[in-house]
Chain A
Amino acid sequence: MLPSIWTIVGQAGTFLVFIWAVMTFVWPPLTKAMEERRQKIAEGLAHSEQAEQALDRAQAEAEDILREARRKAGDIIEQATSRSTQIVEEARASAVAERDRQVAAAEAEIRLATNQAREALRERLAELAVAGAGRVIEKEIDAKAHRELLDKLAAQL
């Protein structure tokens, strides 16, 4: 450990030069970049928080919409069910009415036919009776005179 003034002075000068170099070329760009990155990260964090909140809101909204849609769908299904029941009921009612109508018409037709047949039968019977009686009695009976009697007879059949 010998003394060396020049080394002391030289070291001080060297030191100052290096401080100057660090101050000029190293420190400002690095601290600037670090500050910029810090801001970027802060912005990024803020954005992500905002995005998270937006996502929460959107999810809540979506849930609301979904719930509403489910409710509406339920309503629609219910309406449809009742409507279909109603339609079925109506159809059944109209079918019953149609059936009754057709049955009634058929009955009426049958009755008409029966009556006609009976009428015809009656007339034929009267004729037959008259013819029979005429054959039995032969000319004794005037067809005209017994007509009334024969009609009464036929009506009782």
Chain B
Amino acid sequence: MASGIEQSEASVEAGASVGQAALGNSADASAELTGFAGWWAQTKDRASFVWNEQAEAGDFVRHHITNLRPAGADPMDPFVWHYDTMVVSWVLGTVFVVALAIAARKVTAGEPGKWQNFVEMLVDFVDNTVKESFHGPRNFVGPLALTIFGVVFLWNLMDLVPVDYVPTVMYIVGFDYFRIVPSADINATFGLSITVLGLMLLYGVKGHGLLGYGKELFTHPFGANPLLWIPNFMLNVVEMISKTVSLAMRLFGNLYAAELIFILIALLPWWIQFIPGGAWAIFHILVVPLQAFLFMSLTIVYLALAYEKH
């Protein structure tokens, strides 16, 4: 149970400094106002703050890499939501599914339209990638791979939105923080990789049977000697944990670092930003699909390893 003092310290630690000054102002200005009027007064205060004041570099960076958590939550309290990550990933995922469903609903075996052609190319590409690694029924693994690729791609793509726009606008309209790159939030990448871990276990059972998979865990990779059961099992557990962690950390690390560099570039004088910003954005165009593809193909390989008999 955090006391009031701890909470305010916590929010300063969490990087609320940019908002803090304005928040202080707005708290003064809108103390007596509530509802829409209060919100409007706060929004005007914040807009004038963003327009007139120059935030310190450290505060600026800290603000831009802080997720939107419940107001006053302990920064180390894990039992909270990151609203921005959830909302952005829901929106992007919905856009992805709806865009593909539109193509799928009007699909024809005859001459395809432009959008259908593009979606088919995507599906074909994913299907071939799955086919190469995973030699089993693809009616689940195919959609899984496609979803991973599309969702992670769109997540990463958010890094190309100018880094200042959304956090600033959202700050002005009343959200203290707002990050729009879900893959730069470690919780989102772990959400994916833990799902993949669960699927790995499911596919292990699906491929070998419950007993067979248990046996597999205890007798591989060293052998079936009872003395080796414990080492085998421990090694397998470590392997699974490392797969899960590396899957999540690889994506997170790449995108977090990229986002940080965009933020640092945004600290440069405005007339020079386009040179490093442009170069980094162009390089990032490579990183965005590459990381999505890596996440997808590693997931397929992990599932194939779990599913197939050795």
Contact = CB atoms under 8 A, between A and B. Distances in A.
Interface of A: 1-12, 14-19, 21-23, 25-34, 36-37, 40
B100 interface: yes
A28 B143 CA distance: 9
A15 B147 contact: yes
Interface of B is mostly: helix
Interface in B174-202: 182, 185-188, 190-192, 194-195, 198
Contacts of B103: 26, 30
Q: Pick the 7 closest A-B CB pairs, nearest first.
A: A11-B191, A36-B109, A23-B143, A7-B187, A3-B78, A22-B143, A7-B82
B14 A27 contact: no
Nearest to B151: A18
B119 A6 contact: no
A14 B96 CA distance: 13
Interface residues of B, number: 56
5 contacts: A3-B78, A4-B85, A18-B147, A23-B144, A27-B123
A4 B97 contact: no
Contacts of B108: 33
A7 B14 contact: no
Contacts of B256: 1
B270 interface: no
Interface of B: 14, 65-67, 69, 75-76, 78-82, 85-86, 89-90, 93, 96-97, 100-101, 103-105, 107-110, 112, 119-120, 123-124, 127, 139-140, 142-144, 146-147, 150-151, 182, 185-188, 190-192, 194-195, 198, 252, 256
Contacts of B190: 8, 11
B65 to A, nearest CB: 8
Contacts of B90: 14
B123 A10 contact: no
Contacts of B119: 30
Nearest to A3: B78
Nearest to A38: B109
Given A26-B104, A29-B107, A37-B109, A4 B142 contact: no
B283 to A, nearest CB: 23
Nearest to B146: A22
A10 B190 CA distance: 11
Contacts of A7: 81-82, 85-86, 185, 187-188, 191
Contacts of B75: 2
Contact of A8 (B69, B150, B194): B194
A26 B191 CA distance: 23
Contacts of B195: 12, 15-16
B143 A14 contact: no
Contacts of B124: 34
Given A21-B97, A33-B109, A4 B82 contact: yes
A21 B3 CA distance: 44
Contact of A30 (B67, B85, B89, B107): B107
Given A3-B76, A11-B188, A29-B104, 10 more contacts: A6-B82, A8-B188, A9-B191, A15-B192, A23-B139, A26-B100, A30-B119, A32-B107, A33-B120, A34-B124
Nearest to B124: A34
Nearest to B101: A25
Nearest to A21: B97
A29 B120 CA distance: 10
